[in-house]
Structure 1
Amino acid sequence: MAISDTGIRIEPGSFRDPTNRVFHRDGEVLRGLDDLAARDWRSLAATDFFRSLLAEGKVCGTEELVPTPVDVPWTAVLRHERIPFVSHPYEWSFGMLRDAALLHLNILRAALAAGFTTKDGSAYNLQWRGASPVFIDVGSFAPARDGEPWAGYRQFCQTLLYPLLLQAHLGVDFQPWLRARVDGIEPDQMRRLFGGTRRLLPGVPTHVHLHGAMQARHARSTTRDVRAQLRAAGYSRELASATVRGIEKLVRRLDRRPGASHWSDYQRTCGYSVPDRQAKERFVEAATATLGGSGLVLDLGANDGRYARIAARHADYVVAVEQDPAVADELYRALRADGERRVLPLVMDLADPSPGGGWRGVERAGFADRTQADVVLALALVHHLAIGRNVPLGEVVDQIVGLGVPGGRLVVEFVHPEDPMARRLLANKPEGLFPDYRRDTFERLLATRCRIERRSELPSGTRTLYQAVVGG
Structure 2
Amino acid sequence: MRDPEGEVVLVGQELIRRVYNPITPGHFLHSLTAASLVSSGKLVPFEIVGPQEVRASRVEFVSLPLEWSDAQLRAAADITLDISREVFSAGYELKDASAWNVIFEGTQPLFCDHLSFQTISSKQWWAFGQFARHFIFPFGVSNTAGIRAYQSFRLNRDGISLPDARKIMGWRRFLTRLWPMLTSLSTSDGGVKTSTPSKGEEPLHRNLYDFCGWTLGRYGKANRKNRNWQKYTETRQHYQDIASSEKRRQVQEWLREAKAKWVIDLGCNTGEFSRLAVEEGARVIAVDSDHDCVEQLFMESMGNRAIYPVIANLADMAGGGGWCGSEYSSLFQRLTGAGDVVMMLALIHHLAISESIPFENIAKMACQMSKQHLIVEFIGQDDPLLQHLAALRQRSPAEFSIMSQERAFALYFKTKAIFNIPGTSRQLAYLEKLPYAHVS
Give the TM-score, by structure 1 length. Answer: 0.85
Alignment of 1:41-60 (within 5 A): 43-60=27-44
- The Cα of 1:450 is off from its aligned counterpart by 1.3
How far does residue 410 in structure 1 lie from its aligned partner after superposition?
0.6
Give the number of equivalent residue pairs.
431
Computed over aligned residues only, the root mean square deviation of the Cα atoms, in angstroms, reads 2.4
What residue in structure 2 maps to residue 7 of structure 1? none
- For 1:291 and 1:142, the matched residues in 2 are separated by 48
Write out per-residue CA displacement over residues 1-60 of structure 1, whole angstroms, 9 at most, x where no aligned residue: xxxxxxxxxxxxxx2013222212232222222225x238x6223433222211110111
Q: Are residues 1:321 and 2:321 paired? A: no
Match of 1:113 among 81, 89, 99: 89
Distance 1:400 1:189 in 2: 39
Instruction: Mark the CA change 1:197 to 1:399 in structure 2 (over 3 Å): closer, same or farther.
Output: closer
Partner of 2:215: 250
User: Which of 8, 19, 42 is 2:5 aligned to?
Assistant: 19
Q: Per-residue displacement from partner, 1:305-327 (whole Å, max 9, x unpaired)?
A: 11101111234411111211111
- 1:437-464, CA deviations, whole angstroms, 9 ceiling, x for partnerless residues? 1111111111111122111111124111
Structure 1 pair 431/307, CA: closer, same or farther in 2 (3 Å)? closer
Amino acid at match of 1:283: Q
2:71 equivalent in structure 1: 95
Offset at 1:236? 5.7
CA distance in 2, matches of 1:50, 1:81: 16
Q: Secondary structure of 2:27's match? A: helix
User: Do residues 456 (structure 1) and 419 (structure 2) align?
Assistant: yes
Distance in 2 between the 1:197 and 1:185 partners? 16
The more displaced of 247-256 and 360-369 is 247-256
TM-score by length of 2: 0.91
**Residue 435 (structure 1) shift:** 4.8
What does residue range 177-256 of structure 1 map to in structure 2 within 5 Å? 177-196=152-171, 198-199=173-174, 201-206=176-181, 208-211=182-185, 213-215=186-188, 227=194, 230-231=195-196, 238-255=203-220
**Alpha carbons of structure 1 residues 56 and 216: separation in structure 2 relative to 1, 3 Å:** closer
CA 1:39/1:319 → structure 2, altered by over 3 Å: closer, same or farther?
A: same
Which residue of structure 1 lines up, in the alignment, with residue 323 of structure 2? 359
> Taking structure 1 as reference, are residues 235 and 157 closer, same or farther at Cα in structure 2, changes over 3 Å only?
farther
Query: What letter is aligned with 2:209?
Result: V
What amino acid sits opposite 2:216 in the alignment? V
Question: Residue 373 of structure 2 aligns with which residue?
Answer: 409
Do the aligned partners of residues 315 and 354 (structure 1) sit closer, same or farther apart at CA in structure 2, a change above 3 Å counting? farther
Q: How far is the alpha carbon of 1:216 from its aligned partner?
A: 8.2
Task: Give the structure 2 partner of residue 8 of structure 1.
Answer: none
Structure 2, unaligned stretches of length 5 or more? Answer: 436-440
What is the rounded CA distance, in whole Å, between the counterparts of 1:272 and 1:164 in structure 2? 37
Are residues 1:334 and 2:300 paired? yes
SS at match of 1:454: strand
Distance 1:257 1:57, change over 3 A: same
Q: What is the CA distance between 1:262 and its match in structure 2? A: 2.9
Which residue pairs with 1:349 in the alignment?
Answer: 313
1:269 aligned to which of 235, 244, 250: 235
1:279 aligns with 2:246: yes
Contact 1:146 1:237 in 2 (8 A): no
| Counterparts of 1:232 and 1:120, CA distance in 2 | 20
C-alpha distance in structure 2 between counterparts of 1:92 and 1:250, whole Å: 20
Cα offset, 1:200, TM superposition: 5.1
State whether residues 132 and 190 of structure 2, in contact with CA within 8 Å, keep that contact through their aligned partners in structure 1: no
Contact 2:47 2:54 in 1 (8 A): yes
Shift in Å at residue 428 of structure 1? 1.1
Query: Is the Cα–Cα contact under 8 Å of residues 300 and 379 in structure 1 kept in the other structure?
Result: yes
Distance in 2 (CA, whole Å) between partners of 1:173 and 1:187 is 17
Equivalent AA in structure 2 for residue 58 of structure 1: K
> 1: distance between equivalents of 2:114 and 2:63?
18
Look up the match of 1:382.
348
- In the TM superposition, residue 417 of structure 1 has moved relative to its aligned partner by 1.5
Which string of whole-angstrom CA distances, capped at 9 and with x for unpartnered residues, describes residues 232-266 of structure 1? Answer: 78996531121111112222433463223231121
Q: 1:457 to 1:326 in 2, by over 3 A?
A: same
Work out whether residues 70 and 219 of structure 2, in 8 Å CA contact, stay in contact via their aligned partners in 1: no
Q: Does the CA contact (< 8 Å) of 2:243 and 2:424 recur in 1? A: no
User: Does the Cα contact within 8 Å between 1:84 and 1:317 map onto a contact in 2?
Assistant: no
Instruction: Please tell me the residue identity of whatever aligns with 1:414.
Output: F
* Aligned residue identity for 1:53: L
Shift of 1:369: 0.8
Secondary structure of 1:427's counterpart equals: helix
CA distance in 1, matches of 2:165, 2:92: 30
What secondary structure does 1:95 align onto?
A: helix
Q: Percent identity?
A: 27
* Distance 1:359-1:46 versus aligned 2 partners, 3 A rule: closer
User: Counterparts of 1:236 and 1:214 in 2: how far apart (Å)?
Assistant: 25
Greater Cα offset, 247-256 or 174-183 = 247-256
Distance across 2 between alignment mates of 1:250 and 1:468: 50
Q: Is the CA contact (8 Å cut-off) linking 2:16 and 2:54 kept in structure 1?
A: yes
Query: Match for 1:39 among 14, 18, 24?
Result: 24
Q: Is the 8 A contact 1:146 1:235 kept in 2?
A: no
How much has 1:396 moved relative to structure 2? 1.6
